[in-house]
Amino acid sequence: MRSAALVLLACLPSSTAVHVCDNIALPSHRRSRQQQQHRQRQPVVLLAAADAASEAKEKLGSWFSSQRTAMMSKAQSGGGAMDPQRKQASDLMKKRGVANADKAAGLLRSALKRDPDNAEIKLELADALNMVIRIKTNANSLVIEGTQDSPAFKKIWRELGGEALPLALDARKAFPKSVKALSVHADAFLFSSSSKGIIKQALTGVGKKYVALAKELYAHPEWDGAVGCAFLGGFYSVAPWPVGSRDKAVKFLNEGARRAPTKRNLYYVGVISYQGGEFAKAAEYFKKALKAPVSKEPTSTEVDIAEFLADRSKKGLQAAEEALAKQAAER
The answer to whether residues 149 and 223 belong to one domain is no
The answer to whether residues 222 and 325 belong to one domain is yes
For 209-232, what is each residue's pLDDT tens digit? 999 999 999 999 999 999 999 999
Average pLDDT along the chain: 83
Q: Tell me the range of 18-22, 202-206, 244-248 where mean pLDDT is highest.
A: 244-248
CATH number at residue 164: 1.25.40.10
The answer to whether residues 101 and 171 belong to one domain is yes
The answer to whether residues 185 and 226 belong to one domain is no
CA distance 103 to 229: 31
Would you say the C-alpha torsion 304, 305, 311, 314 has a positive or negative sign? Answer: negative
CA distance 205 to 313: 33
Predicted structure pTM score: 0.75
Picking from 247, 118, 142, the residue whose alpha carbon sits closest to that of residue 190 is 142
Confirm whether 67 is domain-assigned: no
The answer to whether residues 227 and 262 belong to one domain is yes
The answer to whether residues 40 and 109 belong to one domain is no
On the question of pLDDT at 5 being above 60, the answer is no
What was the pLDDT predicted at 199?
Answer: 76
Buried/exposed code over 198-222 (b: 16+ C-beta within 10 A; e: otherwise): beebbeeebbeebbebbebbbeebe
On the question of pLDDT at 11 being above 50, the answer is no
On the question of pLDDT at 198 being above 60, the answer is yes
Which position has the higher pLDDT, 10 or 207? 207
The answer to whether residues 8 and 109 belong to one domain is no
Q: Tell me the range of 45-49, 149-153, 184-188 where mean pLDDT is highest.
A: 184-188
Q: In this structure, are residues 256 and 265 in contact, taking their beta carbons and an 8 Å threshold? A: yes
Confirm whether 76 is domain-assigned: no
CA distance 89 to 106: 9
Confirm whether 207 is domain-assigned: no
Confirm whether 110 is domain-assigned: yes
The answer to whether residues 255 and 326 belong to one domain is yes
CA distance 228 to 296: 18
- The total domain count for the chain is 3
Confirm whether 201 is domain-assigned: no
Measure the N-to-C terminal CA separation of the chain; round to a whole number of Å.
Answer: 92
For 61-101, what is each residue's pLDDT tens digit? 443 444 443 333 344 444 446 789 999 999 999 999 999 99
Full domain range(s) for residue 321: 216-331
